[in-house]
Amino acid sequence: MSRRRLTLMVAGVLTLVLGGAGALLPVPYVALSPGPTENTLGDVKGKPVITVSGHQTYPTTGKLSLVTVAYQGGPEARIDLLTALRGWMDPTVAVVPEETIFPKAVSVKEVEQQNTQEMSSSQQDATAAALTELKIPIKVYVAVASTQKGKPADGKLLPNDEITEVDGAAVRTVDEVAAGVRKHKAGEQVRFTIVRGGKPMTVEVGTISGPSGSIVGVIMGSQFKFPFTVNVNVGDVGGPSAGLMFSLGIYDKLTPGPLTGGRSIAGTGTITPDGQVGPIGGIQQKLVGARDAGATVFLTPADNCDDAVQAVPKGLRLVKVSTMHEAVQAVDALRTGSGQVASCPAR
């Protein structure tokens, strides 16, 4: 064998080896793909997704399914270049920079904890939205979520404390509490009336200067007291995007007759306690997951319509919704065949 031929063979082998090794190198991207769907009217691992105690419920049929996005990759388990390339070639997969899902300043554990917290909050908001749609009264109050370490409230206000008054004035919202604190100059004391473990008490907390006035270093959130108990069980699903479908599932169980009329309906969207539907991410993957699960109708947040119409699979009808009320009306119209149903406009 000539020296030239041997050199070419060695170079070819090295190129293949280096190319193969390069394809297996980890890259800072995350592959998003269609995740599982869960019927909010059904069960997860043998347990109902939605259970209601203390109020009459009614039989349901059909499906009101939430949809999810699965991801592969992340700082602790990066995908390789070959996997990323396969994802870029697959229209049902989105390959996005790692920082889109895992910001550099936040750990993977913190991201997972945030997703869990958002899911828990969305379940509360969904219950509030469903009961508001049904005109069932609920009580809203301000609760302590946490305090900032080293700030005046640290150790004085505790998680789950219900704040009822600031300096003797009744408060019902987070903004009202913050406004009461800002009335003080830095260094002054604020008198909080709270309920802790069912017992009312008064706690005085000092103030310090903050970006927009005086603060005490407390993180608060709105909480609800419902007249009966609603529990939601979804296993390992996280994030806030299932809010709309939780609301519809709760609404269906609390009203006579099946809302869907036996149809398989999927959807997505965040929900506020007063029933406003917000946009979500991963709409393309969620549409594919919904169709693969047999859904024929997809409830789409109005702000996601533009992206949805470009990725909707054949056989899936997009119904545009902006509020819980619109969603109920749309599903009702689909069941009865009466009334107009808003669709995402074609581009």
Q: Is 241 a catalytic residue?
A: yes
The residues facing 320 across adjacent strands are: 300
DSSP letters spanning 190-237: EEEEEEETTEEEEEEEE-EEETTEEE--EEEEEEEE-SSEEEE--TT-
Whole-number pLDDT of residue 82:
84
Specify the CATH class of 29-136+226-336 in words.
alpha beta
**Spatial CA neighbour of 173 closest among 182, 163, 183, 181:** 163
How much is the mean pLDDT over the chain?
88
Q: Where are the domains of the chain?
A: 29-136+226-336, 139-225
How confident is the model over 275-317, as pLDDT tens digits? 999 999 899 999 999 999 999 999 999 999 999 999 999 999 9
pLDDT at 21: 47
Span 167-201, pLDDT tens digits: 999 998 888 999 999 999 999 999 999 999 999 99
pTM for the full predicted model: 0.80
Q: Which helix (H) or strand (E) holds 319?
A: strand 317-321
Question: What's the pLDDT band for 118 if we cut at 50, 70, 90?
Answer: confident
Q: What local confidence, expressed as pLDDT, does residue 323 receive?
A: 97
Considering the candidates 63, 156, 253, 286, report the single residue annotated as catalytic.
Answer: 286
Q: Give the torsion sign (CA, 212, 154, 113, 242).
A: negative
Query: Active-site residue among 241, 247, 253, 320?
Result: 241
Q: Classify residue 183 by its DSSP letter.
A: T
109 is catalytic: no
What is the CATH architecture of 139-225? Roll (2.30)
